[in-house]
Amino acid sequence: MAQAVPTQQRPPLWRDVRVLRLVAQVAFVAVVAIVLRELFLNADFNLSRRGRDLSFDFLRTRAGFGIKEHIISYTSNQSLLRAFLVAATNSMFVAGVGIVLTTVLGIFIGIARLSTNWLVRKMAQAYVEVFRNTPLLVQVIFWYSGVILTIPRIQDSVSLFGVVFVSNRGAALPGIEGGADFSVWLLFALAGIVAAAVVRRYRTRVHDETGRPHYRFLFGTGAFFLVAVTAYLLLGDPFAIQAPEQGVRNYIGGTQISPEFVGIIIALVLYTAAFIGEIVRGSILAVSKGQKEAAEALGLRPGQQLRLVVLPQAMRIAIPPINNQYLNLWKNTSLGFAIFFPELINVTGTIVTQGGAELQVFSMVVLTYLGISLLISLVMNIVNRAVALRGAKL
Amino acid sequence: MRRGLMAKFVVALAVFALVAVGCERDGGTTTDDNGDAAQQGGNLLQEVIDRGTLRCGVNETVPGFGFAEAGEEPEGFDIDFCRAFAAAIVGDPEAIEMTPVDADTRIIALQNGDYDVLVRNTTHTTSRDGTEGLSFAHVNFYDGQAMMVRTESDFQSLEDMDGANVCVTTGTTTELNLADRFAELGLDVTAVGGADNTQLQQAFIRDRCDGWTSDRSQLAGIRGAWPPRDGGPDALRILPDVMSKEPLAPAVLDGEVALYQVVNAVVHGLIFAEELGVTSNNVDQQAQSPDSADIANLLGVPVEEGAAESINHGLGIDNDFMQGVLAAVGNYGEIFERHIGANTPLGLERGINALWTEGGIQYAIPFR
């Protein structure tokens, strides 16, 4: 019995799954857009009823207040926008320095947690438990009020060889005072680094071909210093080392570090390093045990096993969780507020008092934190992709 | 029946979207809890009367003006004014709810309707009138920004403080005045700015700061409460330089005309009472038989037995409101002496806060 095969017919539009999905998505987007529009209009309406608006004009007005430390230049005559940027760059600088330091310390703590030495292992464990389990704000205030403020006052500064001073108003170190040709010298220094890299590769090649010890570090450093010193002599004093002096109320000259900066850095680094230490420990344990045994069978010492075989594989695993910790550190810079460090939250409080535009200012704050967080994640993702094993199953 | 459900869902979404778009942009669609007052354009006074309680935004960290001992309600100069307003509006000076607010959030909280009257040593400025939408009543304390230093230091005036590190509270006009005054004098200053007085106190004790700048009244309060183990009040000195004018006044939100007029009238009434010599002790007796027509107008009583009504203010509250106010907190001078006067830890002189007849500038409007 022949039966005609029914041809593929499209169901009616209102029953066609593909059409319904599309319509649902469009409707959802439309609803979200409408809700956002309503929120925005509501804010605008209520603000204008109180004689305020959503403009950003206030950013042009004169700031009128001082910011005691800044990475980019600033005077109280500049605009509120400039003040905002100064505060943002302060926060970023704290985060940058903090991320570098906490990574170094965190890796060290993680390895120490797995040490064969009982004392080292227990001390690392104590460190992690203490710093992980107390609130960061408490730690920040402790380091500042409990430790830094209690060191001798500036009149009683502790001094090392007369060129380094420490007191509760900060530390002063010898600083570099750039002369006329300082930037030219810096270019030469850069060339020196390139030269060092070239020499290093050459020495490695020599070593590979002939088996003679390469001493590549010594040769590389030598090359760099050769270029740098020659450039210094040729240019005739492109910079000078300036030692600080102890004034009555402040240090004069040199490179100065404020106690607030030190306080927030110490607190952030110690706290985040505890978390990074645990991540590193977990990553090292996650590397297949066979790798360590094979490395041992090859005759590598424990330190070499760790450095050459285990750690490179472990850090691959550790990158995404460490990225999280970097983001936490960046956002936690806002706690500098509690110890007078002029970071973003501290200064925006004053900007709001000056300009009165809370909604606009806090939107800017949110976008800044969001933007830099995305930037950090972007960089870490690039690193992650660069070191990922292609097609490997770990 | 998944397809049927899907279709209904899509239809529901579409209907919702249409409704949302079609909604008129009027004040009724989306307002916050207490936006009603602003929405109805200034009915806060009636709302307070109906509610029976006055809510005040106050300070709880400044001795003398608004300070709360641990676990207690705040007390102080400003708090007594809050009681005075409550006595006038709802007839009970204790029918108050105090909301401690700090400098950063006081104005936002008022705009949100978290409280009715701000009486928290707040300076009346043009931008607070304009941008921040406040209406300030008559000044209840003429203050000025000053600098406090350690007695042992050799600072005699601001000129001696070149390069000083100065502790200052952020989010206030104090920071701005500090920068401007030092710039005018051509001196360098490093402002160590924080939000919390207790943290700043730590920094000042430890010599992180050479000076601490704030309103003179606040500095007097901090100095008065300085711990004995750090030297007590004698370890600190307030420099005579006046760094700014800080006229402190109670404030309400723009648009609350009726409430504003009542608050203003109470402040003037307290000053007028001191001018006329009416105190908490003799107010009852004066209400029975007023010594003068002025006193009769102030207290809202007939000039003498059988005379006609003295006055009808038309403020939306009883005309004899000052009786309850004076019985509760006394006149301006009494409030001053009770919290910040010569016999208190603050030990402030009346100075320009004295009556205009006694060398100061406190001057009440007529009650008629």
In chain B, what are the domains? 34-140+249-279+317-368 (3.40.190.10), 144-246 (3.40.190.10)
Please report, in tens digits, the pLDDT of each residue of chain A (394 residues total).
556 666 667 788 778 888 889 889 999 999 999 999 999 899 888 877 766 778 888 888 888 888 999 989 998 889 999 999 999 999 999 999 999 999 999 999 999 999 989 999 999 999 999 999 999 999 999 999 888 888 888 888 888 888 888 888 888 888 888 777 788 888 888 989 999 999 988 898 888 888 888 888 888 889 899 888 888 888 877 888 888 888 888 888 888 899 999 999 999 999 999 999 999 999 999 999 999 999 999 999 888 888 889 988 998 899 999 999 999 999 999 999 999 999 999 999 888 877 778 888 999 999 999 999 999 999 999 998 888 776 554 4
Question: Which letter does DSSP use for residue B215 in this model?
Answer: E
Nearest to B10 among A24, A50, A259 (CB): A24
**What integer pLDDT is reported at residue B15 of this predicted model?**
64
Cα torsion at A310, A316, A317, A321 (round to 10°)?
130
Nearest to A65 among B176, B202, B208 (CB): B176
What is the nearest CA distance from A368 to chain B, expressed in angstroms?
21
Task: Specify the CATH number for the domain of residue A121.
Answer: 1.10.3720.10
What is the nearest CA distance from B169 to chain A, expressed in angstroms?
10
What is the nearest CA distance from A265 to chain B, expressed in angstroms?
18
% of chain B exceeding 90 in pLDDT: 48
ipTM tops 0.90: no
Tell me, yes or no, if B42 comes closer than 8 A to chain A by beta carbon.
Answer: no
Domain contains A307: yes
Average pLDDT over residues B104-120: 88
Cα torsion at A66, A345, A70, B200 (round to 10°)?
60
Question: Which letter does DSSP use for residue A356 in this model?
Answer: -
**What integer pLDDT is reported at residue B310 of this predicted model?**
77
Terminal CA-CA length for chain A: 59
What is the nearest CA distance from A107 to chain B, expressed in angstroms?
34
For B268-298, the pLDDT digits (tens) are: 999 999 999 999 999 999 988 889 989 999 9
For B23-74, the pLDDT digits (tens) are: 544 444 444 444 444 444 578 999 999 999 999 999 988 888 998 988 889 9
Tell me, yes or no, if A218 comes closer than 8 A to chain B by beta carbon.
Answer: no
Question: Which letter does DSSP use for residue B133 in this model?
Answer: -
- The residues facing A230 across adjacent strands are none
In angstroms, the Cα distances linking B20 to A28, A29, A43, B16, B32 are: 13, 14, 16, 6, 18
For B291-319, the pLDDT digits (tens) are: 998 999 999 888 887 788 778 888 888 88
Number of domains within chain A: 1
DSSP string, A239-296: EEEE--EE-SSSEESSEEE-HHHHHHHHHHHHHHHHHHHHHHHHHHHHS-HHHHHHHH
Q: Most distant CA pair in chain A: distance in Å?
A: 111
CA gap A329, A345 in Å, rounded: 15
For B153-170, the pLDDT digits (tens) are: 889 999 999 989 999 988
Chain A, window 341-370: residues with a beta carbon less than 8 angstroms from a chain B beta carbon:
342, 346, 349-350, 352-356, 358
Q: Which residue of B has its CA nearest to A58?
A: B131
| Cβ–Cβ below 8 Å for A20 and B176 | no
Q: Are strands B251-253 and B134-136 parallel, antiparallel or unpaired?
A: antiparallel
Return the beta strands (E) in A162-244 as ranges.
164-167, 170-173, 175-178, 239-242
Which residue of A49, A62, A251, A347 to mutate against B (max B Cβ within 10 Å)? A49
Confidence class for position B263, pLDDT limits 50, 70, 90:
very high
**What integer pLDDT is reported at residue B35 of this predicted model?**
43
Tell me, yes or no, if B178 comes closer than 8 A to chain A by beta carbon.
Answer: yes
- What the block records as the tokens of B58 is 């106050």
% of chain B exceeding 70 in pLDDT: 89
For A86-121, the pLDDT digits (tens) are: 999 999 999 999 999 999 999 999 999 999 899 999
Tell me, yes or no, if B105 comes closer than 8 A to chain A by beta carbon.
Answer: no
| Cβ–Cβ below 8 Å for A51 and B133 | yes
> How many C-beta atoms lie closer than 10 Å to residue B349's C-beta?
11
Contacts of A16 (CB under 8 A, 6+ apart): A10
Closest alpha carbon to A356 in B133, B17, B151: B133
**Residue A340 domain boundaries:** 80-149+260-387
For B84-97, the pLDDT digits (tens) are: 999 999 999 999 99
Chain B, window 127-156: residues with a beta carbon less than 8 angstroms from a chain A beta carbon:
127, 130-133
What is this structure's pTM? Answer: 0.76
What is the nearest CA distance from A376 to chain B, expressed in angstroms?
29
Domain contains A114: yes
Helical ranges in chain B per DSSP H: 2-22, 36-39, 44-51, 77-89, 106-111, 126-129, 173-184, 197-205, 216-224, 257-276, 283-288, 293-299, 321-329, 332-339
Domain contains A52: no
| Cβ–Cβ below 8 Å for B104 and A38 | no
**What integer pLDDT is reported at residue B38 of this predicted model?**
41
CA gap B192, B167 in Å, rounded: 5
CA gap B106, B196 in Å, rounded: 15
Tell me, yes or no, if B18 comes closer than 8 A to chain A by beta carbon.
Answer: no
CA gap B278, B287 in Å, rounded: 10
Question: Which letter does DSSP use for residue B41 in this model?
Answer: T
CA gap A37, A106 in Å, rounded: 45
Question: Quick check: helix, strand or coil at residue A116?
Answer: coil
| Cβ–Cβ below 8 Å for B203 and A34 | no
- What the block records as the tokens of A126 is 């104590």
- The residues facing B117 across adjacent strands are B56
Question: Quick check: helix, strand or coil at residue B229?
Answer: helix
CA gap A324, A381 in Å, rounded: 12
| Cβ–Cβ below 8 Å for B103 and A358 | no
Tell me, yes or no, if A22 comes closer than 8 A to chain B by beta carbon.
Answer: no
Burial label for A204, CB within 10 Å (0-12, 13-18, 19+), is middle
